[in-house]
Amino acid sequence: MIRPLPGRLVLIGDPVTHSLSPRFQNAALRSAAIPLQYEAIKVSAADLASVVADLAAVSATGNITIPHKVSFAALCRTLTGAAEIAGAVNTFWVENGVLHGDNTDVEGFNFAVERLLGSTPIRQTVALLGAGGAAAAVLSAANQWQETSITIWNRTREKSVAVAERFGGVRVAAVSEQAVKDATLVVNATSIGMTDDSFPVDPALIPETASVLDIVCRIGGTAWVRAARGRGLNASDGREMLIAQGAASFRRWFGLEPDVAAMRGAIGLTG
Ligand code: NAP
């Protein structure tokens, strides 16, 4: 059954113009005949708390993106288990004036990996590039996989050390080449490649039997994934994860199953 409609449905981030979420969430809203518009709003770190207070006052609901997932978690009165473990929020809603946070990136990432590997992930040697909010969701998911080891690399080393300590058993690499050396699965959870064609690591350094998941999303895919495929690697960009996390958010907001085919079509995914 559909829940009471929120006052607004928003994506909060900075930048937000690159985001594909308005395309597919608005397609799902139209398909379900829900009279709301999903709006992307640019909010700086300095303004986050006051904007969120204004949005809570109108019972808004929505998503959080780069770079606010971790700081938003601290503003929520309650967190789901997934958001608590990740320490990051990508989905929020307001009930009786109380702000709640969830993290559907964890579910979305697991879905995308299963699709890429063609099976439930097990016995993986994961190289994780990045230590922000999305990387925390990747760690939450991969930490649950059986017989799996994880090495993390991040531009700002202190952040990778902090996140590795929080999750436990995660190795920290000094350079990205070291992280990917023996990997069976390489995940880009940095924002490299989001607005240009730069690479988080040279695909030539990735073992030829490894799979590559770039969680960055772009219409037509990312240059890094194209280069990895050009080397014969099994590689996918972040659009499968994006749809899966977005569908989970939609269920959370409305208690309804979204039209996933319409969502996929809106960002050029087929099959
Ligand atoms: P975030 O919390 O702001 O973290 C950004 C990460 O990227 C940090 O590790 C940062 O390193 C790194 N980074 C940024 N610019 C860099 C550069 N020039 N060189 C090296 N590292 C750089 O952002 P986030 O929320 O984790 O999002 C990261 C990316 O994942 C974004 O592109 C986002 O759109 C994408 N994402 C996709 C999905 C999906 O469903 N497909 C879901 C979530 C996120 P420092 O710590 O050194 O700054």
String of DSSP letters for 198-265: --SS-GGGS-TT-EEEE----TT--HHHHHHHHTT-EEE-THHHHHHHHHHHHHHHHSS---HHHHHH
Handedness of CA 249, 253, 259, 262 (dihedral sign): negative
pTM value is 0.96
Taking the C-alpha atoms of residue 182 and residue 54, their distance in angstroms, rounded to an integer, is 48
Residue with tokens 């409305």: 254
CA atoms within 13 A on the CB side of 12: 31
> How many A from CA of 192 to the centre of ligand 1?
7
Lining residues, ligand 1, CB within 6 Å: 65-67, 69, 105, 108, 130-135, 154-156, 159, 189-192, 194, 215-217, 238, 241-242, 245
d(CA 264, CA 10): 20
H or E element, residue 187:
strand 185-188
Checking if the pLDDT of 3 tops 90, the result is no
Mutational test site, ligand 1, from 16, 66, 194, max ligand atoms within 8 Å of CB:
66
How many helical (H) and strand (E) elements, i.e. helices and strands, does the chain have?
A: 11, 12
pLDDT tens-digit series, residues 133-190: 999 999 999 999 999 999 999 999 999 999 999 998 999 999 999 999 999 999 999 9
Model confidence pLDDT, tens digit, residues 43-58: 999 999 999 999 999 9
